[in-house]
Structure 1
Amino acid sequence: MSAVREPGEVFGPRFTLFADVLSIGLATAVSCLPVVTIPAALSTACAVLRGAGEDRPATAGRYIALLRRRLRAGDLMAGVIVVAGVLLCAADLALARAGLPGGVFFTVAAALIGVCAALVALRACARPESLTDWPAALRAAARDAVRDTGGTALILLAVATSAFCAWMMLPLAFLVPGPMALALTAIEVRGRGKGAALQADLTR
């Protein structure tokens, strides 16, 4: 995105991007209401924001146009798997707290597995492969989660911050998907940059 303010532009491109992130966040929140559309909605938001770095418009209109082409069987199945995983994790935690032997250990283990799975899923949404191939995006995201532990920690911090903001002021929950998608996209672009730099060093 160009950093030069156009003639007659009041706020400048950075403020315009901020406004676009909020509008995309609101559109993403509405698109997530059917629940099974959550992966496609977040992935689309990341794709639109990624295009802002290539001087493509990052607007709610472009987001909606791209999302309409995303609601395929594979995208909806990804949403079903996410919902099933969340319900399974919640059921396991409920059983672990019911006084079963080894319940404390099982609770910790289930929570760690759930957090790791959520971080990989979020990284997958930011991958370009998620637009066409969810399994490939998940494989790449799992590799990124291990290789780029700093980026994974940043995602965890972004999730915690978003949850805290939504808890402090519930209406903010409808705007959280935009900044979250921006954070995921920035971390994914950062990881690509580090990978390209490492590959350049190895080929010298």
Structure 2
Amino acid sequence: MSGVRTREQGEVFGPRMTLFADVLSVGLATAVSCLPLLTAPAALSSACAVLRGAGEGQPATAGRYFAVLRRRLRAGDLVAGAVALVGALLCAADLALAGAGLPGAPLFAVVAGGIGLGAAVVGLRACARPESLTDWRAAVREAARDAVRDPGGSALVLLAVATAAVCAWTLLPLAFLAPGPLALALTGVGVRHAAARTGREDVRETA
């Protein structure tokens, strides 16, 4: 987001406040688009794409968000949503069984929780990948590599999710605005990792 302009003469709000308002409007649009559940990955991926475009001078508005979402909704997006929903339900069921007092439940809960967190990180980072607009398999594959190569970024993703969850739990209406800051965080992590990787490649080429 380095291309943020300076405040024009006569403007009431600066560009950073404008971007903040845009993120909230995109977040609200994303929350509405996630309501069918199967559309959640495509909705979050579209939000990340719109916010990536903001760094290139493109408008980050709800109108552009819905335009991007309309162009890319396809069978693959619904399959991705179904996989994400089934995975979340399985993880919840496993944790519920672990809490039922079965033998070995504490260890099982730790393993199931770890697998669930890992899958969530990969899935969220896949939504921030540009490949998710056309090819979810490629996006997940690259996101899995990013999660391993960039543990700091993965920790930031978990922190962003935890922050969004706490905000939604503290004040329920904030749940409809949380997808915007979450998408911004995912986009920022992706841009940060891409910039770091490009920097390393440049160093190798000049060495």
TM-score, normalization: structure 2? 0.96
Count how many residue pairs are aligned between Structure 1 and Structure 2: 204
Mapped partners of 1:99, 1:159: distance in 2: 28
Which of the numbers 105, 125, 128 marks the counterpart of 1:126? 128
Structure 2 letter corresponding to 1:102? G
Specify the alignment match of 2:52 in structure 1: 50
- Map Cα deviations across residues 32-64 of structure 1 (whole Å, 9 max, x no partner): 000011000000000000000000111000001
DSSP-derived class of the 2:72 partner: coil
Question: Cα offset for 1:90?
Answer: 1.3
Mapped partners of 1:104, 1:4: distance in 2: 54
- Map Cα deviations across residues 119-151 of structure 1 (whole Å, 9 max, x no partner): 110000000000000010001111111111111
Mapped partners of 2:100, 2:79: distance in 1: 32
Specify the alignment match of 2:116 in structure 1: 114
Please say if 1:203 is aligned against 2:195. Answer: no
Please say if 1:96 is aligned against 2:92. Answer: no
Structure 2 letter corresponding to 1:148? D
- Of all paired residues, the percent bearing the same amino acid is 69
Specify the alignment match of 2:168 in structure 1: 166
Specify the alignment match of 2:34 in structure 1: 32
DSSP-derived class of the 2:37 partner: coil
Specify the alignment match of 1:73 in structure 2: 75
Mapped partners of 1:150, 1:70: distance in 2: 30
Structure 1 letter corresponding to 2:203? D
Supply the RMSD in Å over aligned alpha carbons: 1.0
Mapped partners of 1:91, 1:183: distance in 2: 29
- Map Cα deviations across residues 168-196 of structure 1 (whole Å, 9 max, x no partner): 11111100000000000011000000000
Question: Cα offset for 1:7?
Answer: 4.1
Mapped partners of 1:2, 1:150: distance in 2: 26
DSSP-derived class of the 1:203 partner: helix
Specify the alignment match of 2:190 in structure 1: 188
Question: Cα offset for 1:89?
Answer: 1.0
Q: Name segments (4+ residues, structure 1) moved above 6 Å.
A: none
Unaligned residue ranges in structure 2 (runs of 5+): none
Specify the alignment match of 1:153 in structure 2: 155
Specify the alignment match of 1:82 in structure 2: 84
Structure 1 letter corresponding to 2:66? I
Structure 1 letter corresponding to 2:177? L
Unaligned residue ranges in structure 1 (runs of 5+): none
